[in-house]
Every structure is written in C-alpha cells, then in structure tokens.
Amino acid sequence: MTVFACARCGSRLTPNLRRVPAPGYDLIDDPTLLYQYIPRMLPGTFAVDPEPFGPSDIRCAATRGTVILNPGDIRGTKAHTDYLRRSGCCRPSGTYGPNLVCVVCGSEVATEQTDCWTAPAVHLEPAAVMTRSGRTAGSAVDPRKGPGRRRIR
C-alpha cells in the first residue's frame, strides 16, 4: 500500500492505495465507452502511466511516469488559479497542464482529467509528489532516482 504526498511540503494527497497494472488504452480509445464517465482506475488503486501525459498541444511538455488515480482518491488539493488550466467541455479536460495544486503550499501536483469525453482520472506529477517511504513517485518506479527529500506528514 502506498500513500502519496506533496514533495514540497509533505501534505498527504491520497489515502492508502494499491498498485495495479496500468489500464490498457483500448478502454479509453473505445468510442462506445466515451461520454459514459467510466473511471480509468478503480477507487483505492493507482498505476504508473507507461505513456507520456501532458498538455496535448505541447508535445515536449509531456511527462513520463505520471501516477494515475481514481478522481475520488485525490485530496489536499485545490483548483489551479489559471482558468485555462481548468478548462474543458463539462469539466477539466487536463489538456493545458497541471490543474490541481497542493492546498498547503500551492505546488502543481496533479492534473484532473474528468471532462465528458475522457475516461476520468487524476494524474500525479512524479516530480511533485513522494510516497510514504519518503521517495518521489518517480523513484518508487525507478530506484536509480534515489530518495525524496521529506517524509509524509
């Protein structure tokens, strides 16, 4: 089980989550599943995204190794103050970069992707979060990246 926290201030961002394999892209590419609000991840689980994730119009800004959550499992965040980041059709589409910030320190920690045409999910920024063990999310996946700076509060 893993808890994710803000790497800057240590504030808790998730409950205890169980790692599972990343969901296949077939699910979100299946047009019959669009507009049905079927979350990409079950509550209580997380996966490391094997695909780059990030602003769709800025290919080089995509991040590898984002941590995918069910939208109900994110906490301790608030909406980004940049309205563009929160834009979408019905809800935030997540196509303009991280749109959730740590409620304590304001660090850009995650992207909510819950618009009507998406498979709803929240993606944690690997460089902005750490796990309970004090490692960054990226290092939890790749031990060569070393430990994080602070422990969770």
Q: What residues make contact with Zn ion under the rule CB under 5 A?
A: 6, 8-9, 11, 102, 104-105, 107
- Minimum gap (Å) between residue 26 Cβ and Zn ion: 35
Annotate 77-108 with DSSP letters as a single string. EEE-S-GGGG--SSS---TTS--EEETTT--E
User: In the bound complex, what is the minimum distance in angstroms from residue 9's beta carbon to Zn ion?
Assistant: 3
3-state secondary structure of 144: helix
CB of 76 vs Zn ion, minimal distance in Å? 8
The minimum distance between CB 32 and Zn ion, in angstroms, equals: 39
Residue closer to Zn ion, measured from CB, 8 or 40: 8
First-residue to last-residue Cα distance in the chain: 17
Count of residues in the chain: 153
Instruction: Specify the residue, 3 or 34, whose C-beta has the smaller distance to Zn ion.
Output: 3
Cβ-contact 7, 136 below 8 angstroms:
yes
> Quick one: 108 or 115, whose CB is closer to Zn ion?
108
State which residue, 14 or 95, has the beta carbon closest to Zn ion.
14
Closest distance to Zn ion from the beta carbon of 148 (Å): 13
Rounded Cα distance between 143 and 33, Å, is: 36
Q: Measured from the CB atom, is 110 or 119 closer to Zn ion?
A: 110
Contact 6, 128 (CB under 8 A): yes
Dist. CA 152–CA 4, nearest whole Å? 8
